[in-house]
Amino acid sequence: MVIFRPAEEGGAGADAMIKDGLMDRFGIQKVYGMHNNPGMPIGSFAMRTGPIMAAMDRIGITIEGVGGHAAYPHKTIDPVMAGSQLIMAFQSIVSRTVSPLDSAVISICEFHAGHASNVIPASAELRGTVRTLRKDVRDLVEKRMNEVCAGVALQTGARITLNYDRGYPVVVNHPAETELAAKIAGEIGGAANVATDMEPVMGAEDFAYMLEARPGAFIFMGNGDSAGLHHPAYNFNDDAIVYGSSYWVKLVETSLAA
């Protein structure tokens, strides 16, 4: 068994360790992971069998236009306008291509262009992320994003290059190990404080690679009424330590006894 704290989104970690032979070299048979969760009460736990966290892909888009004076837009190819059209069109993939019964997130989080209020820039860059819970949806979103980029390029005359970088796979919990994790959590926090049917979240973790290599379970533990993850005011609640550490000790004792 391995107890592992995943790297933050975008970092290297589990994949490199597995490729280095972690599982075989140390005879690892099962894996378990945990993440604290703001908004859940201290002493509570949540999990589910099957997909629990999303696959994460990175988007990098370069738009090359023709810069010029803002007063003469007809003499330019405006990359800002092309980028704006891309952002809006990407959202139609989620709302009009992906089934309403499936989950997908396309978030453009960076838009870099220009340095003056009266100059149409020659280029722009967009960066963001895609989150999905199923491989076929992941494939569909990537395909449609390429098609949207080609369409906007044709419409605007800009040259648009999409770099679609596949990152972490979906975090998928295994049934028997999730059942064991729920049992142990119930012994620590009380059965009433353990949810075994939590909704999947669209965050991502490299622990997904561990669960592809070995059976196991990834669970969430309450952090109380704190600021959200990745928020600048976030702070780990030390009151959760006793519950988390007790969970791990009991899990190890139970697994080794079995």
Please report the DSSP string for 156-225 in residue order: H--EEEEEEEE----EEE-HHHHHHHHHHHHHHH-GGGEESSPPPBS---THHHHHHHS-EEEEEEE--S
| Average pLDDT estimate for 198-215 | 96
Nearest to 113 by CA among 158, 78, 149, 160: 78
| Whole-number pLDDT of residue 4 | 43
Could you list the residue range(s) of the whole structural domain that residue 27 is in? 2-53+172-257
Query: Are 71 and 135 members of one domain?
Result: yes
Query: Are 223 and 128 members of one domain?
Result: no
What sign for the dihedral angle of Cα 160, 127, 13, 194? negative
Mean pLDDT for the chain overall: 94
Query: Are 46 and 79 members of one domain?
Result: no
State the Cα torsion 136-137-143-146 to the nearest 10°.
-160
| Whole-number pLDDT of residue 13 | 80
| Whole-number pLDDT of residue 6 | 47
Please state whether the predicted TM-score (pTM) of the whole model is above 0.85: yes
Nearest to 108 by CA among 43, 63, 61, 69: 61
CB 46 within 8 A of CB 195: yes
pLDDT digits (tens, 9 = 90+) for 151-202: 999 999 999 999 999 999 999 999 999 999 999 999 999 999 999 999 999 9
List b or e across 32-44, with b for residues whose CB sees 16 or more CB atoms inside 10 angstroms.
bbbbbbbebebbb
Nearest to 58 by CA among 109, 101, 103: 109
Query: Are 40 and 102 members of one domain?
Result: no
Instruction: Reply yes or no on whether the pLDDT at 127 is more than 60.
Output: yes
Instruction: Reply yes or no on whether the pLDDT at 212 is more than 50.
Output: yes
pLDDT digits (tens, 9 = 90+) for 217-256: 999 999 999 999 889 999 999 999 999 999 999 999 999 8
Query: Are 223 and 145 members of one domain?
Result: no
Query: Are 41 and 119 members of one domain?
Result: no
| Whole-number pLDDT of residue 245 | 97
d(CA 249, CA 40): 22
| Whole-number pLDDT of residue 2 | 43
- Which CATH number do you get for residue 247? 3.40.630.10
Using 50, 70 and 90 to split pLDDT, how confident is the model at 64? very high
Q: Where does a domain end: 149, 166, 183?
A: 166
d(CA 27, CA 33): 18
| Average pLDDT estimate for 73-93 | 98
Nearest to 141 by CA among 176, 210, 191, 89: 89
Domain count, the chain: 2
| Whole-number pLDDT of residue 1 | 40
Query: Are 104 and 178 members of one domain?
Result: no
Q: Where does a domain end: 126, 150, 166?
A: 166
d(CA 127, CA 148): 15
pLDDT digits (tens, 9 = 90+) for 4-57: 444 445 445 889 999 999 999 999 999 999 999 999 999 999 999 999 999 999
Task: Quote the Cα angle for 59-129-113, to 5°.
Answer: 55
| Whole-number pLDDT of residue 244 | 97
Nearest to 125 by CA among 161, 153, 151: 161
Q: Where does a domain end: 118, 143, 166?
A: 166
Token look-up 């509570």 returns 44
Instruction: Reply yes or no on whether the pLDDT at 209 is more than 60.
Output: yes
Query: Are 42 and 117 members of one domain?
Result: no
Query: Are 119 and 200 members of one domain?
Result: no
Sheet with strand 104-113: strands edge to edge: 104-113, 123-132, 55-64, 159-166
CB 55 within 8 A of CB 178: no
Query: Are 60 and 145 members of one domain?
Result: yes
Instruction: Reply yes or no on whether the pLDDT at 83 is more than 80.
Output: yes
Instruction: Reply yes or no on whether the pLDDT at 125 is more than 50.
Output: yes
- Which CATH number do you get for residue 129? 3.30.70.360
Query: Are 99 and 184 members of one domain?
Result: no
CB 185 within 8 A of CB 196: no
Query: Are 49 and 177 members of one domain?
Result: yes
